Amino acid sequence: MEMPAPNAAVLSKKAKIVARLQAVLPPSAVIHEEAETRAYECDALSAYRCPPLAAVLPSSTEEVSAVLKICHEEGVPVVPRGSGTSLAGGALPTADSVILGVARLNDVIETDYENRVIKVQTGRTNLSVTGAVEEEDFFYAPDPSSQLACAIAGNIAMNSGGAHCLKYGVTTNNLLGVTLVMMDGTITELGGAHLDAGGLDLLGLICGSEGQLGVVTEATLRILRKPEGARPVLMGFDSAEIAGACVSDIIKAGVLPVAIEYMDKKVIDVVENYAQAGYPTCEALLIVEVEGAPAEIDEQLGLITQIARKHNPVELRESTSSEEAAKIWLGRKSAFGAMGQLNDYMCLDGTIPVSSLPYVLRRIGELSAEHGLEVGNVFHAGDGNMHPLILFDANKPGDLETCEALGADILRLCVEVGGCLTGEHGVGIEKRDLMNDQFAPDDLENQMAVKDVFDPTWLLNPAKVFPLAVSERRRALAIAAE
Amino acid sequence: MTPNSEAELADAIASAKTPLRIMGGGTRPVGNPVAGEVLSTSGLSGIELYEPGALTIVAKAGTPVDEIEAALSKENQRLAFEPMDHRSLLGTNGTPTIGGIVAANVSGPRRVQSGACRDHMLGVRFVDGTGTILKNGGRVMKNVTGYDLVKLLTGSYGTLGVLTEVSLKVLPKTDTQATLMIHGLDFPQAVKAMSAALGSPYEVSAAAHMPDMGDGAVTMLRIEGFEQSVAYRAEQLANELATFGEITVETDAGKSAKIWTASRDVAGFENADGDVWRISVKPTDGATIAASLGADQLFMDWGGGLIWAVMPKGTDLRARMNGTPGHATLIRADEATRATLGTFHPELAPVAKISAGLRNKFDPKGILNPGLMT
Ligand SMILES: Cc1cc2nc3c(=O)[nH]c(=O)nc-3n(C[C@H](O)[C@H](O)[C@H](O)COP(=O)(O)OP(=O)(O)OC[C@H]3O[C@@H](n4cnc5c(N)ncnc54)[C@H](O)[C@@H]3O)c2cc1C
């Protein structure tokens, strides 16, 4: 993955830029010594690293605005950062950029159970939002697996999802308002605590814009009352086709599970070795979870198991206690850790129409053999959000490149069957150069025109999302403006 | 003009030099008056793909909503955001189209549980003001590839582009429903009761309040699902809300459904002699506003977060909101009033600037419903 050469003019005035930033922030909030800026050199796509010019950690919206104003005047690119768990390289710096981290903006501003909203600063972690309302039995629904670490800021920028989004939606469906700071320092509000923001849906546009349109410092989020209960059922099948047909039949029958998780044989084997969850040996395993009142759970599980039986499962295991439920989830929850023990891995998240599942899994198998790297599949089956995990050895010369080439082939396959490159991790740098496979030149031009409105000189996270060649002319504006 | 294909529509827009009024079924003439030649999407009609097992439907923008709902109904599915039919309220006739629903982001009582139209949108194809055919999103349920222009186009009332095709997430129909009715509450009590219900684990799918119009005030809560579960949740909820007042339960699913269709379509306002406003605020503010507007007629949906009001002609309702965060839309009024007061709530300066900037990029000739939203 290529990154643009840093702007020499910016590099040469580092001292001036740092001095100006120090004038508006407390000393500890401006990090510029080379040894210290290394802490910000990458996100969770750690194969790519580059220390930034400086990193700043503002503690208020006004400080964010002051920083952006200075960077705007000096023509310095800014890379917003939450917790740095992006798997797409969304928070990867360039040598001429300032990392704007929102980690110190982590307060709860207001919890309002009557209106079922919470207002937080966006540096707050996803899980601690639920933590703030748990005592009243409320929760914040989007639950990325990284929820212990990732920040609401990154969730909004990537429009992150989680295992339970089949029922509750992703970040954008649970976001009611934001405070947005634009590249020139302008502060504005979009939406609020009311259900639909007025005018054009700018809130919907900001969510998922990967830190390229503005910096989000505060957010009003919908909170929900916890359901009375939830219970999973586990089923194993002889083939991907049968598992896929079962998923489709469950959905067609009018049941809406909160989660349908899928694991293939490769992942089952690895997970069994690692966590001994007692999973059956089979080609495809599904975990289906339903929630609600006890009667509702019984009724739904009754229907689901009835459908599953028609597909001759090799195993069908219901849970009658919370221990059994935890055991069913244990393997799924340790899947990524288990695969990580085996080797380095790259996790893709292309989405496909559920009906293409068997075909896509077969093709992934073939592509895996062609490139000579193993692939495990674990994913959210209800919504077609795949998670192929490509195993490779980062220390072996050429392996990363082979892995990336295989990854690109798999993502092109997702697009070919009517799906998309990314269902929850975002484009970042990782899928940037594949955007031409999903979009026509006019579509990309249209999206870039949107960025022109928010950030005319392309200083905010400029080298992401769009293929470098496609955004080149616009990125040159930033350099010219400087 | 009624083009019969996306390409024809693109040509028509590319060669247009004067303003166009974009029309689906013409049943929702909401917005500031627009002068211009009518461009109808009714020639672009038909369901292109429906996969019940994937909860996805793709249709051309001019497809009648009835056709979509009939297809979904056959598979026991539905548009979960429960779009309102504006015809009786606005005195229009014609055939509502799916593109019209999307362009106006029309959502009904189930908004509180399932989200708005925009939350069910998966993809769009559209033609911008230069005649360029564009697409965004797709037909899969999770998609964060590039900017979410699907949301931006939804609710843009044809001012950014003319929709030619939309893909939507659909959901299973529920088996049955019941409506709990609490009698005799005033606005603040009603909002408290609705908040308690919506904040309970009993999955309330709609919450509305009709103030006393002679037969007493009634606060209504809908519960949907499997029969046993509906009975159980209705009972639990009634117990939990018992302190608010007398509660009755409509367990006849047909009668319960009628209540919500009426509420969805703002029944009872058809013949009211005044302007019809739609106000979106946070529910607790809704209680205050409802009590102080001086409306001729009014009711609350969305747990108090949505207020429908009839005001004496020409009244500036927004001034009476006293700066409460949220917005008010003038849904029905004569052209002069709409031109003076503006259909949509004035925006903060930076937001207005961004919106104008976007319109200028999507429609540099200023020909797509110019002035409808501003
Ligand atoms: C083990 C693991 C599991 C994961 N599981 C999931 C999952 O289940 N679902 C899922 O969706 N993702 C998942 N992710 C990906 C990642 O956690 C999400 O993308 C997350 O939302 C990133 O949040 P962050 O705070 O770490 O953001 P960062 O990595 O810091 O930044 C992500 C992007 O957001 C931008 N950004 C950050 N802050 C702001 C701001 N204040 N304003 C504007 N833009 C900003 C950045 O510029 C960057 O483009 C996983 C990651 C890991 C490592």
Looking at 3.30.465.10, 3.30.300.20, 3.30.470.10, 3.40.50.410, the CATH number of the domain B6-172 comes to 3.30.465.10
Asked if residue A214 lies in contact with residue A181, where contact means CB atoms within 8 angstroms, the answer is yes
Q: b/e per residue, A350-384, with b = 16+ CB within 10 A?
A: bbbbbbbbbebbebbeebbeebebbbbbbbbbbbb
CA distances from B71 to A225, A230, B51, B327 (A): 34, 32, 11, 35
Which amino acid appears at position A440 of this protein? A
Give the closest of A165, A353, A435 to B146, CB-based: A435
Task: Give the per-residue pLDDT at A481.
Answer: 63
| CB contact set of B273 (below 8 Å; sequence gap of 6+) | B313
Domain spanning A343-436 has what CATH number?
3.30.70.2740
Rounded CA separation A399/A405 (Å): 10
**Residue A73, SS3 per DSSP:** helix
pLDDT digits (tens, 9 = 90+) for B306-359: 999 999 999 999 999 999 999 999 999 999 999 999 999 999 999 999 999 999
Collect all residues with Cβ–Cβ distance below 8 Å to A183 and sequence separation of at least 6: A68, A71, A72, A78, A214, A454, A455, A457, A459, A460
Using CA coordinates, name the residue in chain A closest to B125. Answer: A443
Tokens 């484009």 sit on residue: A427
Give ranges for CATH 3.30.70.2740 in chain A.
Answer: 343-436
- Separation CA A395–CA B292 (nearest Å): 70
Nearest to B232 among A172, A253, A295 (CB): A295
Quick: pLDDT tens for A285-310: 999 999 998 888 999 999 999 999 99
State the Cα angle at A86 between A344 and A202, rounded to 5°: 155
Instruction: Please answer yes or no on whether A200 and B155 come within 8 Å at the CB atom.
Output: yes
Q: What is the pLDDT of residues A359-375, one digit of tens each?
A: 999 999 999 999 999 99
394-413 of A, contacting B, C-beta below 8 A = none
Closest atom of ligand 1 relative to the A336 alpha carbon: 1
- Which among B53, B148, B302 has CB closest to A172? B148
CB within 8 Å: A421 and B51 = no
The domain ranges of chain B are 6-172, 176-264
User: What is the ipTM metric for this complex?
Assistant: 0.97
Output the pLDDT for position B363: 98
CATH of region A229-336, choose from 1.10.3210.10, 3.40.1160.10, 3.30.70.2190, 3.10.129.10: 3.30.70.2190
pTM for the predicted model, two decimal places = 0.97
CB A283 within 8 A of CB A239: yes
**Chain A residues with beta carbon closer than 8 angstroms to that of B289:** none
Cα–chain-centroid distance for residue A447? 20
**pLDDT attached to residue A118:** 98
Q: Which residue of A has its CA nearest to B373?
A: A199
Interface membership of A4 toward B (CB under 8 Å): no
Contact residues, chain A, for B56 at CB < 8 Å? 353
- In chain A, residues under CATH classification 3.30.70.2190 are 229-336
The answer to whether residues A118 and A129 touch, using CB atoms and an 8 Å cutoff, is yes
CATH code of the domain made up of A108-225:
3.30.465.10
pLDDT at A165: 87
Q: Which CATH architecture has domain B176-264?
A: 2-Layer Sandwich (3.30)
Q: What is the pLDDT of residues A304-362, one digit of tens each?
A: 999 999 999 999 999 988 899 999 998 888 888 888 888 899 999 999 998 899 899 99
What are all long-range contacts of B343-349, with beta carbons under 8 Å and residues at least 24 apart?
Answer: B343/B30, B343/B31, B343/B32, B343/B372, B343/B373, B344/A198, B344/A199, B344/B31, B344/B32, B344/B373, B344/B374, B345/A198, B345/A199, B345/B318, B346/B318, B347/A198, B347/A199, B348/A188, B348/A189
Closest residue in B to A303 (Cα–Cα): B226
